[in-house]
Amino acid sequence: MHSLTHSFLPVALLTAASSAINLNVLNGQDFADPGLLEVNGISYSYSTASNRGAIPKTSNSSFNNAGGWAAPENSFPQDSPAQSPGGWAKAGTSWAPDVVQLTDYDSSFAMYYASEINGNGGQPHCLGLARNRDNPNGPFTDGSTQSFICPASEGGAIDPEAFLDDDNSRYLAYKIDGPFNGQGPCGGTQGNTPIMLQPLQHDGYTFNGDARQVWDAQSAGVLGIEAPALLKRDGVYFLFYSVGCYAGNDYRTDYVTASNIYGPYSNPRTLLQTGDFGLFGPGGLDVVPGSLHATFHSLIQSGNVSAGRQLNTVVLSVNGNTATIS
């Protein structure tokens, strides 16, 4: 029996057999930590900084367009006050944006993102909020002189995930970046990588009580977790997250479920890992609750994050407390 050594073969076979997933829809462009937004039938995705801009954006009117999405363009000008000299954020350091439409408020678009705090030497990332009144293409601007959420002594905060519950309560989930302090994966030791949940008022900005920890690496039984994404379906809350070091093939996408948004979450299971659909290190998943459309990235080259991360799209199947890709 011959093994399939040509890299295009397994991908082509599996893509043909499974219309729910489309791989590398930007044809090899780097597009990491993709946030997904859908408005009026158009899908928008936003990524970590790359040579395409501070926060690159792509879109398509057909989510399942296997032929590719629009070429990424910047959605976040470098001259946004937050990333200008004197602003709170350092230009070119934005990670893992999440964009939502504040349908429960004024229908404007809110972009939550992480950037390194301006300062001398190595600084942690913290969360900022940029807005566009009516255009999901941007430009998004952040006029704040201070970050939005910033547990700096704990390593900072990254990977924001905005979520509107079906009782119309608004939240922002994020990760406390313990790895900045040498904890968690990518060479660190087991430590602090909790996923926090901050209740917000409808303006998407004003705190509505204190943030609470909802999940962490120890509970998951792994070295580190990040990139939370929330979904509620038939009364079940799904918390998706990435496990391991983003730079390697051991990075994967797991999830837990609960009947209350604050938990307790339990029963960790793997949704996507290296080898599935010919992928390397799949993570950074974001899901749109209504359509179950999701985006995630994976390493373009096995074990080599320097070669970039590709954008993949998938339609999730959810049944009870189980999520699958069919």
Ligand X SMILES: *[C@@H]1O[C@H](CO)[C@@H](O)[C@H](O)[C@H]1NC(C)=O
Which residues of the chain form contacts with ligand X (CB under 6 A)?
A: 42, 59-61, 65, 67-70, 301, 304, 306-307
Considering the complex, state which of residue 115 and residue 132 has its C-beta at the smaller distance from ligand X. Answer: 132
d(CA 130, CA 113) in angstroms, rounded, equals: 8
Cβ contact 159:174 at 8 Å: yes
First to last CA, the chain: 27
Q: At its nearest, how many Å lie between ligand X and the CB of residue 22?
A: 12
Task: Summarize the chain as % helix, strand, coil (round to 5).
Answer: 10, 45, 50
In the complex, minimum distance from the CB of residue 231 to ligand X, in angstroms, rounded to a whole number = 24
Does residue 3 come out as left (phi exceeding 0), alpha (psi in the -120 to 50 range) or beta?
A: beta
Cβ nearer to ligand X, comparing 69 with 109 = 69
Q: Are the CB atoms for 253 and 273 separated by under 8 Å?
A: yes
Token pair of 205, please?
A: 């900005």
Name the 3-class secondary structure at 147: coil
**CB closer to ligand X out of 69 and 238:** 69
- Closest approach, Cβ 172 to ligand X, in A, equals 27
Q: Which is nearer to ligand X, 260 or 306 (CB)?
A: 306
The set of catalytic residues is 33, 226
What is the smallest separation between the CB atom of 60 and ligand X, expressed in angstroms?
Answer: 4
